[in-house]
């Protein structure tokens, strides 16, 4: 039986704003400043953020033991909402993007485990109020920094052409066979599908339907039993899965947001490497190249 939704419709965004303001005042939220530039490659305007200061995050890591779980218990000052019987929504403590949310399981589940219908129900309950990009880094190689299962949502960064996600122009040209799409300009192995259900009317039904689509995409990628590390991206309209081979290339770490067209580099030297090797080539190197 699916978990019961606790989140009241129409309340999440106000809770995000209020919690963010309070968490900044209390010092619970430690935003990481970045500079930003656009890098065009293969028809995608990649948003590249350059870290200005990682001192806060590095100092916090040094103070915590290796087996520390920041989600069990989570910081009360980061709590946004109870989403369902099985999931809670909190702020990302070390956020690069403003209003970055984490959807965490109440009990410990491994970040390498398969996503469940309850995970997708919680995701859609949040997306119904918070129209953004949801993503999941399945394990360390896929960019996960915590072992406790958590999905994430960031707001869309809509540009002047009304593009919500940088890779969207390429998704429009996907070729479909039996409901599974292949994006011609993606040089890496992936599986793509459209979500044709109304998340606003029933997050529970949307979550169950998305879970079935997710399982089918894993079958296509031959990962339905014990999946290799992968990145999952989802909006109200579509879902994309990319299988991973490496966590980084030339020292540039990639997580799900990289495959959405949002990249993060640690310094100007990495920025120069990104310009030299080009974003799409780096994504291919950390995934599996298409034959």
List pLDDT tens digits, range 146-178: 999 999 999 997 665 678 999 999 999 999 999
pLDDT at residue 123 in the model: 98
- pLDDT at residue 251 is higher than 80: yes
How many domains are contained in the chain? 1
Question: For residue 172, what are the contacts with CB-CB under 8 A and spacing of at least 6?
Answer: none
pLDDT at residue 163 in the model: 81
> Does residue 71 have a cis peptide bond before it, meaning omega lies within 30 degrees of 0?
no
Is 81 contained in some domain? Answer: yes
Average pLDDT rounded to a whole number, residues 31-44: 95
pLDDT at residue 52 in the model: 81
Asked if residues 245 and 5 have their Cβ atoms less than 8 Å apart, the reply is no
pLDDT at residue 13 in the model: 96
pLDDT at residue 225 in the model: 63
**pTM (predicted TM-score):** 0.94
> What CATH number is associated with residue 252?
3.30.428.70
Is 166 contained in some domain? Answer: yes
pLDDT tens digits for range 199-243: 556 899 999 999 999 999 999 998 666 668 999 999 999 999 999
Phi, psi angles (nearest 5°) of residue 100: -85, 120
Is 157 contained in some domain? Answer: yes
Q: How confident is the model at residue 57 (pLDDT cuts 50, 70, 90)?
A: low
**Alpha-carbon distance 158 to 166, whole Å?**
9
Q: For residue 220, what are the domain limits?
A: 12-286
Q: How confident is the model at residue 190 (pLDDT cuts 50, 70, 90)?
A: very high
Is 226 contained in some domain? Answer: yes
Neighbours of 179 (CB within 10 A): 12
pLDDT at residue 222 in the model: 85
Q: How confident is the model at residue 1 (pLDDT cuts 50, 70, 90)?
A: confident
pLDDT tens digits for range 77-91: 999 999 999 999 999
Is 7 contained in some domain? Answer: no
Q: How confident is the model at residue 109 (pLDDT cuts 50, 70, 90)?
A: very high
Is 1 contained in some domain? Answer: no
pLDDT at residue 61 in the model: 58
Task: Tell me which residue of 203, 200, 232 sits closest to 215, measured CA to CA.
Answer: 232
Is 5 contained in some domain? Answer: no
Is 153 contained in some domain? Answer: yes
């Amino acid at each position: 039986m699916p978990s019961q939704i606790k989140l009241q419709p129409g309340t999440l965004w106000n809770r995000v704003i209020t919690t963010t303001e309070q968490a900044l005042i209390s010092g619970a939220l430690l935003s990481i400043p970045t500079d930003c530039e656009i890098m065009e490659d293969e028809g995608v305007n990649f948003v590249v953020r350059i870290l200005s200061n990682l001192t806060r995050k590095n100092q916090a890591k040094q103070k915590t033991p290796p087996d520390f779980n920041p989600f069990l218990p989570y910081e009360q000052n980061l709590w946004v909402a109870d989403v369902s019987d099985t999931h809670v929504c909190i702020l990302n403590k070390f956020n690069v993007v403003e209003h970055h949310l984490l959807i965490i399981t109440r009990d410990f589940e491994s970040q390498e485990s398969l996503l469940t219908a309850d995970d997708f129900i919680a995701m859609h309950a949040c997306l119904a109020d918070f129209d953004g990009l949801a993503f999941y880094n399945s394990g360390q190689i896929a960019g996960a920094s915590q072992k406790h299962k958590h999905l994430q949502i960031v707001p869309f960064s809509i540009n002047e052409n009304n593009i919500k996600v940088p890779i969207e122009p390429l998704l429009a040209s996907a070729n479909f066979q039996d409901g599974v799409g292949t994006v011609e300009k993606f040089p890496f192995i992936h599986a793509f599908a459209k979500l044709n259900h109304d998340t606003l009317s029933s997050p529970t039904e949307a979550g169950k339907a998305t879970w079935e689509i997710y399982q089918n995409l894993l079958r296509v990628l031959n990962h339905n039993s014990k999946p290799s590390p992968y990145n999952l991206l989802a909006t109200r309209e579509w879902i994309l899965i990319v299988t991973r081979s490496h966590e980084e290339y030339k020292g540039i770490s990639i997580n799900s947001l990289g495959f959405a067209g949002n990249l993060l580099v640690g310094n100007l030297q990495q920025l120069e490497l990104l310009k030299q090797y080009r974003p799409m080539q780096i994504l291919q190197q950390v995934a599996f190249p298409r034959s």
